[in-house]
Amino acid sequence: MCKIIAVSTLKGGVGKTMTAASLSVGLVKQGKRVLCIDADAQHSLTVSLGVPEPEKLPETLSTIISNIISDVGFSPTAGIIRHSEGVDLLPSNNTLVGMEMALVSQIGRESILRQYLDKVKMNYDYAVIDCAPSIDLLTINALAAANHVIIPVVPKFLDAKGLELLLKSVAQVQRQINPALSIGGILLTMVDKRANFTKDIISTVEKAYGGKIHIFSEHIPHSVRTVESTAQGRSIFSCDPNGKVAAAYAALTKEVLGIA
Asked if residue 120 lies in contact with residue 78, where contact means CB atoms within 8 angstroms, the answer is: no
Q: Where are the beta strands (DSSP E) in 48-180?
A: 81-82, 88-90, 126-131, 148-153
Query: Which residues are bridge partners to 128 per DSSP?
Result: 5, 36
**Separation CA 67–CA 58 (nearest Å):** 14
Domain count, the chain: 1
User: Domain limits at 51?
Assistant: 3-259
Q: Stretch 184-190: mean pLDDT, rounded?
A: 94
Q: Tell me the pLDDT tens digit for each residue of 62-104.
A: 999 999 999 998 999 999 999 999 999 999 999 999 888 889 8
Tell me what pLDDT residue 158 has.
64
**Choice between 183 and 229, residue whose per-residue pLDDT is larger:** 183
Rounded Cα–Cα distance for residues 91 and 37 (Å): 6
The Cα–Cα gap between 189 and 213 comes to 17
Cross-strand partners of 4: 127
Question: Average model confidence (pLDDT) for the chain?
Answer: 93
Give the tens place of pLDDT for each residue, 8-20. 999 888 999 999 9
For helices 137-145 and 96-103, give the axis angle rounded to 10 degrees.
Answer: 80
Number of neighbouring beta carbons within 10 Å of residue 8? 26
* pLDDT value for 157: 64
Mean pLDDT in residue range 191-213: 85
What per-residue confidence (pLDDT) applies to 208? 87
Q: What percent of the chain has pLDDT over 70?
A: 98
**CATH, residue 243:** 3.40.50.300
